[in-house]
Amino acid sequence: MVYLALLLNIVLLVAGQVVWKIGLSKAGGLQLENALHVLFSPLIILGVFLYGVATVIWLYVLSRLPLSFVYPLQSFAYVFALIVAFALFKESIPPTRWIGTVIILAGIAVLSWK
């Protein structure tokens, strides 16, 4: 159950970033002139809500597993975010970023090794 909660935490963090990216794109970016409008737009507020839920779940995970074990596992968020950026936003991902992602996954594997 706690590992499922950790996965949900990671998914919510990436989802929060995704809705922020969409919200900022729809608003034409964040500038001084539109800051209040953007910060109180529905997608930005949704992203804050998702981060809030992710934080509550993270507190649950932290109460049951060692920080030194679970915090590195949150690096999966970088991997998921890269995949989402590629698939959803059609971002161009250079080979060096893919290599870095593989290194992150290798690091997670080493840190998780018992």
H/E run at residue 38? helix 35-39
pLDDT value at position 33?
81
Q: What is the rounded radius of gyration, in angstroms, for the C-alpha atoms of the chain?
A: 16
Q: To the nearest whole number, what is the mean pLDDT of the chain?
A: 94
pTM of the model: 0.87
Question: Do 38 and 24 meet the contact criterion of CB atoms below 8 Å apart?
Answer: yes
Question: Structural domain boundaries of the chain?
Answer: 2-112
pLDDT at 29 exceeding the cut of 90: no
Q: Which of 23, 1, 20, 11 is nearest to 53 (CA)?
A: 11
Mean pLDDT computed over 44-58: 98
Mean pLDDT computed over 25-49: 88
Burial of 14 (0-12, 13-18, 19+ CB in 10 A): buried
Q: Residue 77 corresponds to which tokens in the numbers above?
A: 């968020």
Looking at residue 51, the DSSP 8-state letter turns out to be H
